[in-house]
Chains A and B, each alone.
Chain A
């Protein structure tokens, strides 16, 4: 009964209710599939054979009690956390268990999955291609039906971009909607836990499960997201930012995105051009804040308590620690960090202004489809540019969704839907409507 692993989360819950199969059978099917396909994909770093709940794959930067959590780094090679992240506890009360920990770029730094100390994850659509990153294993595991759904983390696009490159749905919630307690910090100001799922409806369900105020996270004061039927609203105003369709966007990807926007127009949406004038400064501001916080957040791995010295960090991690240490140094702080913080405010205001004219903003997730493994690894700047359309949502703290919207050269393309802060509902509605009138998600990679 191999079909069982292709079901969405909502379908699994229905089937379990109707006793079409048991949790035991469900886990068995998944474990079997993982055993068969993981050696090809390298999506999982650790598999939990004793999972007896709805099997979810958890990115290895999320703390799981008694299950090894390495952040895909050598420096945490032997780290078994004594506590569960808040999201893991919340999923547990909903009958969801951890079937395994997924591979990712080391400490979630990267856009291709290649920065893992445990080898790159492969894209299920083409094993020579990268799956995107940093939640590479989570996206690949969902795309290859190696779990019912996965959790990833999004600091600058790390949920949306691999979801786009692997042809699955990814949701980055509003900053503060989901507790970060137990998420190994990369950039504390931007880090957001969110689901990678097989359908938009699943996104709403998982968000309902993991959202809500947490006394363990001072920044998580948002209300619980309440899932309601995702009904399409006519005359919804969709903004298209001209800055997201300029130079650097692959023309074939552009065509797919424009077709998707046309589809939304056919559904009755009002399409409006909007402007996000400070977009060109987003990347620079992002990398200053990102590396500054990284240099501080990773200081605790000093070789005293985790058994490994700092030379066990990979190249990219070392690069960012150095950049961040420099940006925060006395004499440079005002020139870099303070300026970046100001740009961040401007970008937030860009979105606020744009959202006066529209309800959601749509555009590409990634300027290209998945590229060859090894292609960009020695060129960090080009690699950073692959996050150009996703980082702004993190700077502004707003929610954003990635949904499959077509293919270029048999590789998936994702449509990004950005919303107002705390308004995940509207982006999910748009995503759901689009999903209902298209068949993209029914395409599965042949493995």
Chain B
């Protein structure tokens, strides 16, 4: 018999807000001295109370809106009660019955994956094991998290991989998270089951893959799990609901918790936080949404006639896409600029768009690279833009780009851009 995997994903993403979810401590905890970003609230001291961070709620809504979710009319925080040493209050403030964003979707490999919800919650502290001792660092406690839950719509590991990449790209486009998997900004959980092909409906069990802290391991675990479940079913065994982890040495999943041991989180409405109504902010945010990565991808293909592959590379990050569009605005040929940036793997942090324009033009015409002529052109450019010099000395380094542009115009695009930049910088710094 042929089997088909049925997979649902839960993604936790840590937001990059300045302060934590319910207090004013800095949320920038990574690599900081333990227990230096803490206060009575995120330590859960007796009497301390949570007050929600509006910016985090906005970020959660932006994620929801980008995923086509509805913003709930009524949204409530709830307490998820469980014991763990890294959880100072004995409960996590989360959302369960009334999530902020519901009913969205995302397109993966030409199919719609339904998003059940995107809700707001808080991160826990972190346990550090040293020898026989365990230390608790609460710097991460209360950092804002958004959890995004899909319906069990994935049919293979490739789709999961694609989904994770797309989300990561989205978070960066929206500027709501650094989405760095290595630092734990983005954490994945999968619900995996299999069913005979052509059978409708969901299997009556699912295996949760949890606490797998690397994307690579998660993919390996899902692949392993699909194979394991098929061979169990083939052997006539019955599969049950359970939670499994990943053993990287043995390259296999292992049982962590069976259904009987499942937690009862005893959710109830968080009495310390009033009901949230964010309908009006949702409308404002909708209007302010940046162009989403998949929209940009489509536009690049349409507007510039790029191939899908080219457009994918150029829209990988918002910064690279902006860079490309600037070279086009500065007069570079659409196709040549795309090829140049892609083939030479241009580092956009070191090169200016104008330099790319020049280089492209330079490859087709004779480049002016003799020092004296360039110096003359640079001096003229500076003389014509006295304000640019002033601005530069005030620290506005973007004027360099404008001056290079002037020189390029004067030389009909034939000046050697990197040399021009060097000369201009010398002048600007010594004026």
Contact = CB atoms under 8 A, between A and B. Distances in A.
Given A82-B45, A219-B272, 12 more contacts: A63-B45, A63-B47, A81-B40, A81-B47, A185-B47, A188-B271, A188-B272, A217-B51, A218-B272, A218-B273, A296-B266, A299-B83
Interface in A292-347: 292-293, 295-296, 298-300, 302, 304-305, 325, 328-330, 333, 337
A344 to B, nearest CB: 12
A63 B79 contact: no
Interface in A203-242: 215-219
Nearest to A219: B274
A140 interface: no
Interface in B157-209: none
A412 to B, nearest CB: 31
A304 B46 contact: no
Grouping DSSP codes into helix (H, G, I), strand (E, B) and loop, the B interface class, with mixed when no group exceeds half, is loop
A250 B85 CA distance: 50
Interface string B302-341: 0000000000000000000000000000000000000000
A71 B48 CA distance: 14
Contacts of A407: none
B272 A296 contact: no
B50 interface: yes
B33 interface: no
B264 A81 contact: no
Given A296-B91, A325-B266, A85 B272 contact: no
Contact of B48 (A181, A187, A325, A337): A181
Nearest to B272: A188
Nearest to A305: B88
B272 A83 contact: no
Range class of the B interface residue count: 20 to 34
B49 interface: yes
A218 B52 contact: yes
A81 B49 contact: no
B90 interface: yes
Contacts of B40: 81-83
A329 B264 contact: yes
Interface string B256-296: 00000000101110011110000000000000000000000
A414 interface: no
A63 B41 CA distance: 13
A163 interface: no
A218 B271 CA distance: 10
A216 B90 contact: no
Interface string A68-89: 0101000010010111010000
A215 B88 CA distance: 22
Contacts of A333: 266-268
A329 B91 CA distance: 14
A348 B12 CA distance: 39
B21 to A, nearest CB: 12
- Residue in A76, A189, A219, A299 with the greatest tally of chain B CB atoms within 10 Å: A299
A216 B51 contact: yes
A339 to B, nearest CB: 13
A304 B272 contact: no
24 contacts: A62-B47, A81-B45, A82-B45, A83-B40, A181-B47, A185-B272, A187-B271, A216-B51, A217-B51, A218-B49, A218-B50, A219-B272, A292-B268, A293-B268, A293-B271, A296-B90, A296-B91, A296-B266, A296-B268, A299-B83, A300-B44, A302-B90, A329-B266, A330-B264
A180 interface: yes
Interface residues of A, number: 40
B18 to A, nearest CB: 16
Grouping DSSP codes into helix (H, G, I), strand (E, B) and loop, the A interface class, with mixed when no group exceeds half, is loop
B116 interface: no
Nearest to A188: B271
- Residue in B266, B272, B273 with the greatest tally of chain A CB atoms within 10 Å: B266
A155 to B, nearest CB: 12
A392 to B, nearest CB: 18
Contact of A76 (B43, B46, B48, B272): B46
Interface in B123-147: 136
B379 interface: no
Contacts of B274: 218-219
Contacts of A62: 47
A325 B264 CA distance: 10
B210 interface: no
Interface in B72-118: 79, 81, 83, 85, 88-91
- Residue in A83, A180, A298 with the greatest tally of chain B CB atoms within 10 Å: A83
B268 A215 contact: no
A193 to B, nearest CB: 11
A300 B89 contact: yes
Interface in B2-52: 40, 43-52
A299 B89 contact: yes
Contacts of A295: 81, 266
A183 interface: yes
Given A218-B272, A325-B266, A299 B47 contact: no
Nearest to B88: A300
- Residue in A82, A218, A298, A330 with the greatest tally of chain B CB atoms within 10 Å: A218
A188 B46 CA distance: 12
A83 B91 CA distance: 22
Nearest to B262: A330
- Residue in A69, A81, A187 with the greatest tally of chain B CB atoms within 10 Å: A81
Nearest to A76: B46
Contacts of B48: 83, 181-182
B49 A181 contact: yes
Contacts of B44: 300
